């Protein structure tokens, strides 16, 4: 993927920032990548592996999250487990 295509897909708009401000800071990275993934693919990511690491990091950077902090969405996302 070219740098331009990456930026077009994974850059948050001003309205995205306003929308994400309504979420708790700990949830913003995951909601942000899901929003952008949906915009590009027409559905939400079903697996964490569907979203490239560099995209998650870039969204986190745009949100001003500390790159040294473990804000990776893997900490925020757990796949549903079937109930017994």
> Tens digit of pLDDT per residue, the chain (84 long)?
788 999 999 999 999 999 999 998 888 888 999 999 999 999 999 888 899 989 999 999 999 986 544 444 444 444 454 554
pTM, rounded to two decimals: 0.74
Per-residue model confidence (pLDDT) at position 83 = 53
Sign of dihedral through CA atoms 76, 50, 45, 18? positive
pLDDT at 26: 82
Domain ranges, ordered by start, for the chain: 3-75
Q: In this predicted structure, what is the pLDDT of residue 65?
A: 82
Take residue 59 and report the two structure tokens written for it.
């969204």
């Amino acid at each position: 993927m070219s740098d331009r295509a990456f930026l077009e897909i994974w850059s948050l708009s001003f309205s995205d920032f306003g929308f994400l401000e309504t979420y708790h800071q700990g949830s913003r990275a995951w909601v942000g990548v899901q929003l952008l993934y949906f915009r590009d693919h027409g559905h939400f990511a079903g697996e964490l592996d569907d979203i490239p690491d560099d995209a998650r990091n870039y969204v986190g950077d745009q949100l001003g999250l500390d790159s040294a902090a473990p804000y990776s969405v893997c900490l925020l996302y757990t796949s549903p487990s079937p109930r017994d």
